[in-house]
């Protein structure tokens, strides 16, 4: 287990490391997983990694190296192991430190400073997480509002479109009805004109027939008178 943390040494969260290295927090987590897979140790708060300055330097070297990632991670893990073996720093595990602190108040004071720094870092991280959650809630609320506005706009546009279509359909139907009425009037007028022409033609036929009959009767009468005259000459 690691025991190289120094009194008053600052602890960093993944977000703070990402900001200092100018990379994404997800990239920091991925680098940490690769390093751990090859034997590198991080301080842990449950499943959450806590970084110190030596860890950040290892991550920077890991990021900037052109060697294969697993190979570089193995070298960094070996360097860390050698550094820990050579270190004279007392293990910072809670039982050992607490036991030693009974005999050495100065050591207890240093240990409490380290714990205070870690608690401060945790509180800072909690504040950041709270701010991120509030920002996320604001973003979600804004997206919901935008969705409502868009839905309302689409609904209004659809309603207006249907209203325009209904109005145009009604106008078209009225136009067709007027055309049909006009055609009906024209048809009726033409039919009446045709009837009048036929009646006029029948009148002319009757007048012509009467005239022909009168002409025939007059011709018959003239023929009878001529016959009588011719019979007188034959006598």
Residues 100-139 pLDDT 10s:
444 455 556 656 766 766 667 667 767 777 788 888 788 8
178's CB contacts (< 8 A; 6+ apart) are none
* Helix (H) / strand (E) containing 44: strand 43-45
Is the pLDDT assigned to residue 80 strictly greater than 90? Answer: yes
* Nearest residue to 38 via CA among 74, 84, 75: 74
Residues 24-74 pLDDT 10s:
999 999 999 999 999 999 999 888 999 999 999 999 999 999 999 999 999
d(CA 36, CA 159): 61
pTM exceeding 0.85:
no
99 confidence band (pLDDT: 50, 70, 90): very low
24 phi, psi to nearest 5 deg: -80, 155
Is the pLDDT assigned to residue 93 strictly greater than 50? Answer: no
Q: What percent of the chain has pLDDT over 70?
A: 78
**pLDDT attached to residue 87:** 72
């Amino acid at each position: 287990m690691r025991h190289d943390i120094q009194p008053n040494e600052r602890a960093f969260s993944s977000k703070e490391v990402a900001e200092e290295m100018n990379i994404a927090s997800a990239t920091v987590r991925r680098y940490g997983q690769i390093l751990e897979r090859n034997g590198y140790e991080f301080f842990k708060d449950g499943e959450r990694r806590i970084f110190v300055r030596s860890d950040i330097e290892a991550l920077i070297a890991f990021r900037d190296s052109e060697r294969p990632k697993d190979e570089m991670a193995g070298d960094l893990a070996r360097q860390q192991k050698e550094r820990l073996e050579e270190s004279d720093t007392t293990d910072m595990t809670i039982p050992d430190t607490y036991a030693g602190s009974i005999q050495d108040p100065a050591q207890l004071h240093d240990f409490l400073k380290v714990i205070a720094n870690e608690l401060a870092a945790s509180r800072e991280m909690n504040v950041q997480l709270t701010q991120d959650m509030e920002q996320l809630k604001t973003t979600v609320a804004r997206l919901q509002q935008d969705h409502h506005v868009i839905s309302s706009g689409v609904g209004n546009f659809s309603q207006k479109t249907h209203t325009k279509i209904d109005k145009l359909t009604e106008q078209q139907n009225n136009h067709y009805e007027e055309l049909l009425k006009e055609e009906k009037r024209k048809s009726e007028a033409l039919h009446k004109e045709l009837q009048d022409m036929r009646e006029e033609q029948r009148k002319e036929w009757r007048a012509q027939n009467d005239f022909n009959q009168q002409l025939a009767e007059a011709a018959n009468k003239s023929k009878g008178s001529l016959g009588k005259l011719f019979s007188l000459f034959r006598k």
